[in-house]
Chain A
């Protein structure tokens, strides 16, 4: 690429001292960034490092707290998405903004305001323009093809064409290749290069370091809201980028491996599990008392795997063995009966009945235990309160009373309620999806201790986490997934956040 473009003339976009916080969390701190005309500028970093916040500020979706943005040297204000539109910015999000049932031309002309003299839309002119845009990106379908019939790659091209319907200066793409094959990605890169050759700048967000290194002219790395590294791609290596993402070398994590993990009985085993391309040929083994971490990026298929194990979905192919017996749960009720529990990813929408009490929520997964008599469906209020109290004590849930609605508890205590639901059952396998997301530091440590304690009682535990500091702390084994496949297994001292991260960015062999 034309790396000389980076130095010749001034930058197209210059950001200086940009800050943004949400509540008490500093999402962006003092970010400086320059994007030159015709440059592909890569934005990388872990989930939650601040990339999307930056893009949302540029697109006018959220307002900045402090800092300045210059376009071609002029300071600009972006209060609303319309402002960004007028400035010639275009944003393509991962969930493409296309209407599936509409044809290519209908999608391209959406939102066009080319009025002729009488105030009517000049369809002829609009169509001419749409044709031009489609030719620029080399899309060869008839213009009346419904978008839902196109592949994901072609839908991306349509989205880019939509952006090209007007004069744009900057286009931002959020993980365009996340669901593309390598040939499809190549086609997209070709279009990107043609765009930049015409002087359009591209902000390119991706987790794939190889393609960042191949495609981008400049790269900015984000970590915890700061831009920790800005570099010419020529000076960057995979190694230097990962180090910047992680934040330098960190201390070795403490040794966690159960020395006898392999001698322990296997409680759960999967063999070549497949589900709709989200879970591909997954084979793993979980021992009793083992804490197995599932690492990887968001969307790597970990939650989908958990759904298979908990009977929420059924695999297309492959086998699961629980305690050596065939395990094919048809729903979560059956999974529970077999001794499997799940703490879902979304606490509020999947884990809790918010308006109901702590007691109600805690006992929900174990109603049989609070019957008045064994064969009676009437519940005992006393047994219910006793069961709830015992869990509250075990997990140190801070709540004014057992009758308090969970909605009024703090995030950490809410999460403990979700975990506590399962503590009164005897579990063989306990799956926790993002157990400490949105939980304060204290509660987080308590949850980690509780996970180890449960494992100590012989339960096999699977922890899914995108927080790469969490897995080294609690896991005996970490299996890293990428694009639905297992790309690596780490044991004991091998489990470091760097190692997990390296593996996460690895391309799964096709």
Chain B
């Protein structure tokens, strides 16, 4: 069988290599061309910090989405959860005068509850996750408006909350440090814990996982709540960064997150969703957006880039997967 399909296997292997390193090569090309096109602004230290800052928030929400995709589900509510988290955390601190730590803990818990609800709807009501999270996402927007009536909560934020994003630990900006911690925890969780194995098994083949004694429903609920919790962390950091809780602040994170995770899944591995890949995907997209903005391309081109990258990323990911299993 192996000898028979040798030539085909070889070609597949070559294609697989291209897709594995394609994202990295593409990123290098992109950095090079932006550096040549706008040498005064793009390849500067300030701009790099800017890109990294932008990428941290995206990386955390994308890390959570990675977990949802590993279990084989979509989560379209993450950006709405992130926006709501920003509004809720500022509201609790400003209007209810809760201490910073307590407010943050409460918001993370609320987001976990939203994730659990997503999981329950998917597993118990057997609603397709796209539809389920489309619905819960809208409900979360409703909660957001019910809580703050769409009015930004800006004045009266405690200084320590603002420091959350702007402060530094050991010379590293806080939000970068938080991103590193979150992604590292996710990485360990997925690759080196029992739950991680169960997550991957559930996504890989739910019926085989069930027959191996894995409680697939619980694992899915767990995965969905991790996605929501990560989204809330992004929302909280964003509120700290922009200094207000704004009702639609994080809504724009949805599409780039999907693009980043899918792009990452074709990177280094054969279409498997994984954290390192997601990080590469996030930077690819972050650099792209940044470079295009500096280059001053018209708005429509930026939309082309967003949409094109998403379709390309998902395409790459599924091609990689089908090549790997051939």
Contact = CB atoms under 8 A, between A and B. Distances in A.
A331 B215 contact: yes
Contacts of B208: 344, 349-353, 364
Interface string A114-130: 00000000000000000
B198 interface: yes
A367 interface: yes
Interface string A363-393: 1110110010000011101000000000000
Interface in B200-219: 200-201, 204-205, 207-215
Contacts of B188: 378
B212 A421 contact: yes
B30 interface: no
Interface in A280-325: 310, 312
Contacts of A405: 324
Given A333-B215, A360-B197, A367-B198, A353 B325 contact: no
A364 B193 contact: no
B211 A351 contact: yes
Interface residues of A, number: 32
A360 B191 CA distance: 11
Interface string B314-326: 0000000100110
Given A353-B201, A356-B201, A377-B193, A364 B325 contact: no
A379 B205 contact: no
Contacts of B210: 312, 331-332
Q: Which of A342, A356, A364, A371 has the most CB of B within 10 A?
A: A364
Q: Which of A310, A352, A367 has the most CB of B within 10 A?
A: A367
B270 A355 contact: yes
B interface SS class: helix
B197 A368 contact: no
B3 to A, nearest CB: 14
A355 B193 CA distance: 19
Contact of B194 (A344, A352, A356, A368): A368
Interface of A: 310, 312, 331-333, 335-337, 342, 344, 349-356, 360, 363-365, 367-368, 371, 377-379, 381, 405, 407, 421
25 contacts: A310-B211, A312-B210, A312-B211, A333-B215, A337-B213, A349-B207, A349-B208, A350-B208, A353-B205, A354-B325, A355-B204, A355-B270, A356-B201, A356-B204, A360-B197, A364-B212, A364-B214, A367-B194, A368-B194, A378-B188, A378-B193, A379-B193, A379-B194, A381-B192, A405-B324
Interface of B: 188, 192-195, 197-198, 200-201, 204-205, 207-215, 270, 272, 321, 324-325
Given A360-B197, A364-B209, 9 more contacts: A312-B210, A331-B215, A349-B205, A350-B211, A365-B213, A367-B194, A377-B195, A378-B192, A379-B194
